[in-house]
Each structure stands twice: as structure tokens, then as C-alpha cells.
Amino acid sequence: MSLWSLLFPPRCPFCRRLLEKGETQPCLNCRKTLPWTGERQRVHGSFFGVCVSPLHYRDSARAALLRYKFGRKTAYAACFSRLMADCAEKRLVGGYDVVTWVPLSRRGLRKRGFCQSELLARGAAAQLGVPCAPMLRKPRHTPAQSGITDAAVRRANVSGAFSLREDAMPEGKRVLLVDDVVTTGATLSECSRLLLMGGAEKADCLTLCCAARMKE
Ligand SMILES: [Zn+2]
């Protein structure tokens, strides 16, 4: 056993109970009580086909995601990305050529210290057996979407904030785009629009949490 795992044994990201070494599932209790979205949950957007998410953005799921993002609990990514890949395997069909993620601006990355959606994308891609590559950049820093409730203002806030990387090569690819939370889908739509304009065959989305109202 490494010193690292003695010092920092894995914990359930949702309740912080100690887990067995190497365990990446939530603890048994959380598996029963987490706010799962259910198999029929879907969010549709203007440019992406569908977005699926294993958890609702509330209760212990919301608290864990906030600790991950703002408390730098990067170890949570192992459990989170597993839940996401499990969800993608069950609810998305057709397969993907590449997994990518919604990037942070340079300023955002400096402030947070890591890109939360990149870690989720890399973990999920590894489980899904699909290559993972950066395809987007965010040259313009924008106010956090979480502070904006109006859908039109959220769309305006992200319009022009992202661009396709010069080395992205989305032509003909089926892209799975990863972010941490979907609310109105404005960010995912804007990023998907860029991927489609670059020639991607399709873009679907996968997030850990869904803050949108259920549309079933
Ligand atoms: Zn737990």
C-alpha cells in the first residue's frame, strides 16, 4: 500500500465514508439514497442530440460536486466519471469516435487549479474505451453560468466565449461532449455548434448532474 493511500484512503465522495482500497463506486448507502435521474432522463439542446446525466443536481450530489470543484477534491473524479460512463453505456446508443470536454478559460483554470470537466471526460473515456482529446478552447472569460437564471441571458453569456482548437479535427466524428452540470444546455449547445461547424457528424453530451427540470 502506498503512503499516499495510507494518508488519503478513498472516501465516498457523497458522504465521505471510508471505502475499500481501489473502490470507485459510491458507498452502499449512497448507492441507495443518491438522487438518481432514472433511465428515461434526457435533456435536448439546439445543437447536441441528447444529454444524459446519472444524478440530479441536488442534495448530496450537489454538495459533492461543489466540494470537487471548489475544494479541489480531484480524487472524486474516479467515482464521478465511473457513474457517468455507466450512464452513457446504458442510455446512449451508436458509439463515439472521441470524447472531449467543455474547457475553462485560462483565468478560470488558474483560479480552480484543475479543469473539472477534463478529469471527468478522461475517466469516462477510459471506461468507454474511446479516445479523449481537447477540441475546444475558451479564450474569453465569462461570469459563472450558475449565477444567471434567465435562459436567454445564459445563452448570451456563452455566445462567442468558446472556439474550436486549431488541432481539433472534428471532421466526420461522432463526439461525446462532457461537462459537470447541465442546466439550460446553453454551454453545451454553443460548444456542440462549434463542433458541428467544424464538421463533426454529431455531438451528444454527458454530465454528472442535471439541474434542468425533468422533461419525460
Ligand atoms: Zn456514501
Residues at Cβ < 5 Å from ligand 1 ion? 12, 14-15, 27, 30
What's the CA-to-centroid distance between 123 and ligand 1, angstroms? 20
Model pLDDT, residue 3: 63
* Ordered domains of the chain (ranges, CATH): 41-210 (3.40.50.2020)
User: What's the chain's length in residues?
Assistant: 216
Model pLDDT, residue 88: 97
Model pLDDT, residue 7: 65
User: Helix, strand, coil: what percent of the chain each, to 5?
Assistant: 40, 15, 45
Q: Are strands 163-164 and 136-137 parallel, antiparallel or unpaired?
A: antiparallel
Model pLDDT, residue 9: 75
The per-residue b/e assignment along 83-114, b for 16 or more CB within 10 angstroms, e otherwise, is bbbebbeebbeeebbbbbbbbbbeeeeeeeee
What's the CA-to-centroid distance between 80 and ligand 1, angstroms? 12
What's the CA-to-centroid distance between 101 and ligand 1, angstroms? 27
Model pLDDT, residue 141: 86
One-letter amino acid for residue 72 of the chain: R
What's the CA-to-centroid distance between 32 and ligand 1, angstroms? 9
Return the ∠ at Cα 114 (arms to 110 and 117), rounded to 5°.
125
Model pLDDT, residue 6: 61
Cell 474516479 belongs to 78
Rounded to two decimals, the pTM is: 0.93
What's the CA-to-centroid distance between 126 and ligand 1, angstroms? 24
Model pLDDT, residue 159: 85
The per-residue pLDDT string of the chain (216 residues; one tens digit each, 9 = 90 and over) reads 566 656 667 899 999 999 888 888 999 999 999 999 999 999 998 899 999 999 999 999 999 999 999 999 999 999 999 999 999 999 998 899 999 999 999 999 999 999 999 999 999 999 999 999 999 999 988 878 877 888 888 888 888 899 999 999 999 999 999 999 999 899 999 999 999 999 999 999 999 999 986 543
